[in-house]
């Protein structure tokens, strides 16, 4: 049973996933605001549209909109008006995003088109609109079929448009932990689970001869709670998130494999045990 759920936290246990995501975000050792704002500077200056037209942006899995709005502010420096379509299945997230937009007057030149849908539902509807920028920031772990989603994103990009995808890096310790757990306990097709990394996106682009640029940022996580003999609920949820496996603490073999790996690949900083994640942003231009 546990082996079947390895890497399947997001899809099989969405509520536990959301709780464990919150626990992970609370353990991040940097300002979330700085992380969110950093996406503005990642966008190339050359995101362009036809003169006199709105710049069209499509966000997949936009969440509560902090990262999106950093990117919207960047494109507003060069474009007078922006049309922004938001595809996000969670009603709660969309409400938070709308509140952010209402409060932030600097987004006044953006027309929002809210779509409360999963990427799968959205891409099933036939759409002719082409976008100058399509982004999916830490979302592709959640979709059913990553390849099909990348294909649909690519189809909705205008010629000269940019696709921006952020994922955990395949070269990070967290990426390596996921590959290790998959090798030892995984069942079926890894790409059908959420054990997906930026390496899979780069492979998808390589296979199609598409060139891209990438950038990486370290994100430190305080995992002290996970390593305590009697770990707290927060520690257990962080471990679920890192292993992408629901209630992993109930499965001693998987838990000890994960904890051994984490112990060997973490460092002690000011009484805190720190595990490093690497956020990789991949930007591809459609010619």
For binding to ligand SAM (CB under 6 A), which residues are involved?
21, 60-63, 67, 88-90, 93, 118-120, 137-139, 142-143
Q: How far apart are the first and last CA of the chain?
A: 46
Cβ distance to ligand SAM smaller for residue 156 or 231: 156
Cβ distance to ligand SAM smaller for residue 119 or 283: 119
Cβ 93 to ligand SAM, closest distance in Å?
5
Q: Are 181 and 9 in contact (CB under 8 A)?
A: no
Cβ 34 to ligand SAM, closest distance in Å?
13
- Which residues lie across from 238 on neighbouring strands? none
Cβ distance to ligand SAM smaller for residue 69 or 266: 69
Q: CA geometry: angle at 71 spanning 69 and 73, to 5°?
A: 70
Nearest of 57, 62, 61 to residue 79 by alpha carbon: 57
Quickly count: other Cβ atoms within 10 Å of residue 240's Cβ.
24
Cβ 120 to ligand SAM, closest distance in Å?
6
Cβ distance to ligand SAM smaller for residue 59 or 161: 59
Nearest of 122, 237, 214, 117 to residue 167 by alpha carbon: 214
Question: What DSSP line would sit under 64-88, residue for residue?
Answer: TSHHHHHHHHHHHTT-S-EEEEEE-
Cβ distance to ligand SAM smaller for residue 93 or 181: 93
Q: How far apart are alpha carbons 175 and 25 in whole angstroms?
A: 18
Cβ distance to ligand SAM smaller for residue 119 or 201: 119
Nearest of 130, 72, 143, 128 to residue 105 by alpha carbon: 72
Q: Are 111 and 83 in contact (CB under 8 A)?
A: yes
Greatest Cα pair distance, the chain, in angstroms, is 62
Cβ distance to ligand SAM smaller for residue 189 or 271: 189
Cβ 142 to ligand SAM, closest distance in Å?
3
| Residue in the shown chain whose Cβ atom is closest to ligand SAM | 63
Cβ 71 to ligand SAM, closest distance in Å?
10
Cβ 236 to ligand SAM, closest distance in Å?
19
Cβ 122 to ligand SAM, closest distance in Å?
8
């Amino acid at each position: 049973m546990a082996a079947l759920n390895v890497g399947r936290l997001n899809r099989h246990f969405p509520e536990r996933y959301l709780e464990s995501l919150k626990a992970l975000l609370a353990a991040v050792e940097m300002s979330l605001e700085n992380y969110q704002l950093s996406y503005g500077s990642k966008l190339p200056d050359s995101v362009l549209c036809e003169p006199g037209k709105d710049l069209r942006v499509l966000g997949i899995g936009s969440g509560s909109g902090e990262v999106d709005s950093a990117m919207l502010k960047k494109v507003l420096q060069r474009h007078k008006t922006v049309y922004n379509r938001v595809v996000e299945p969670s009603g709660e997230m969309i409400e938070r995003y709308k509140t952010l937009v209402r409060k932030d007057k600097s987004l006044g030149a953006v027309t929002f088109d809210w779509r409360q849908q999963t990427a799968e539902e959205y891409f099933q509807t036939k759409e002719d609109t082409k976008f100058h920028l399509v982004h999916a920031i830490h979302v592709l772990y959640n979709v059913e079929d990553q390849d099909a989603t990348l294909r649909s994103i690519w189809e909705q990009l205008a010629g000269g448009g940019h696709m921006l995808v952020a994922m955990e890096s395949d070269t990070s310790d967290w990426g390596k932990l996921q590959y290790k757990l998959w090798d030892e306990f995984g069942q079926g097709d890894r790409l059908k689970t959420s054990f997906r990394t930026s390496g899979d996106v780069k492979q998808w682009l390589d296979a199609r001869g598409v060139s891209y640029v990438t950038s990486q940022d370290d994100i430190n996580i305080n995992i002290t709670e996970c390593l305590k003999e009697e770990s707290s609920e927060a520690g257990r949820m962080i471990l679920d998130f890192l292993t992408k496996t629901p209630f992993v603490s109930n499965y001693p073999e998987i838990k000890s494999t994960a904890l051994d790996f984490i112990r060997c690949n973490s460092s002690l900083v000011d009484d805190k045990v720190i595990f490093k994640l690497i956020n990789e942003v991949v930007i591809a231009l459609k010619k």
